[in-house]
Amino acid sequence: MAAEQLATEGCAVTVVEHMPSVGRKFLLAGRSGLNLTHTEPTPSLVARYGVAASRLAPAIESFDADALRAWAAGLGEATFVGTSGRVFPESFRATPLLRAWAARLDGLEVTIRTRVRWVGFEAVPEGVGVRLLGADAGAEEVVVADAVVLALGGASWPKVGSDGGWVEILSAAGVTVSDLRPANCGFTAEWTPTFVDRFAGAPLKNVALTFGGRTVRGEGVVTESGVESGVFYALGAAIRDRVEADGRATVHLDLHPDVDVAGVAARLARRRAKETWSTSLRRAGLAPVAVSLLREVTGNRLPADIGGLAALVKDVPLTLVGTESLARSISTAGGVAWDEVDERFMLRRMPGVFVVGEMLDWEAPTGGYLLQATFSTAVAAARGVLDWLGERNP
């Protein structure tokens, strides 16, 4: 995105990619439909970025959801608004968009060098000395650029390129980098083998999750090691922080959010003679996985009375004891500290070097917010590069 902006303004641009092809993480995001952005009003969208909202706001306001949709349409990929305001390409795939994008860059005469890794900087009299190491030749070279945009991602899904190898390089140069941590990740629970055997992969549909004073509704998924997806991602940052601080976090699930406790109790009161509680719970509207979850969290000792059981259905305490690995997280928290970059996304310690995307210290829930901020910061940094070059050579 930064390359496109700069090349459009007449800059000679080279993209250095250490993987055999570009856009691999973009394609990975497309496996679930490529959620590009979100249609909620820009002020509400910006608020999704929490403590980093004020720093990201100018970039997102300058290249907002409408601008991103127009950009996709310009590449021949019209978008549509799906559930909950999420925006997707009409093809629901990343491949056509990436293919058209690559063709546009080629038309702008952007040079793309693959299987070449950035390994640091070299002091040069003018410009920025970029040290590059080719995977094939194995010889290091120094390329002098007028400006450099670092767009190296976080450290989730390293097999597609974002391996976090840049952290050591920038830290050694004195740049403050907050620890990279899993974001939009799954959490581990102490499931019994029987529960795992029967329900790993089963969805928890239409539930409400409460933690830290917030409640969200949606779905989750039981995994072999714990839970993931939906509601757990939505409150994931707070849950992760508690797990890291205390070694565990207890969240509360409402398995029947459309009915109050009295309503659940009334349904359970219709229990037939000799009917098991499991059957009664299923007849009350709970899926088998939800019924088994009640047994799992109580050590298979369900309340003996209808009132107690109804209350449990509405408030299931689930203890989570860890996070899934950073490598398997959807995104990354942490990164280059905001004090290290100016309003143009240029590193204060390295004039002419700009940082974008997940390299910066921000996080957001899923829903289109991840790609939106990544694209917006890339556009902002490209404009910052133009300002920087203009100041040096009016």
Q: Where are the domains of the chain?
A: 2-183+332-392, 187-323
d(CA 377, CA 148): 14
Nearest to 361 by CA among 232, 172, 178: 178
CATH of domain 2-183+332-392: 3.50.50.60
- End-to-end alpha carbon distance in the chain: 25
Give the global pTM. Answer: 0.90
Confidence (pLDDT) at 274: 79
pLDDT by 10s per residue, the chain, length 394: 999 999 999 999 999 999 999 999 999 988 878 999 999 999 999 999 999 999 999 999 999 999 999 999 999 999 999 988 999 999 999 999 999 999 999 999 999 999 999 999 999 999 999 999 998 767 899 999 999 999 999 999 999 999 999 999 999 999 999 999 999 999 999 999 999 999 999 999 999 999 999 999 999 999 999 999 999 999 999 999 999 999 999 999 999 999 999 999 999 998 887 788 888 899 889 999 999 999 999 999 999 899 999 999 999 999 999 999 999 899 999 999 999 999 999 999 999 999 999 999 999 989 999 999 999 999 999 999 999 999 988 8
Confidence (pLDDT) at 385: 98
Q: Is the distance from CB of 181 to CB of 326 less than 8 angstroms?
A: yes
d(CA 186, CA 110): 38
Confidence (pLDDT) at 374: 97
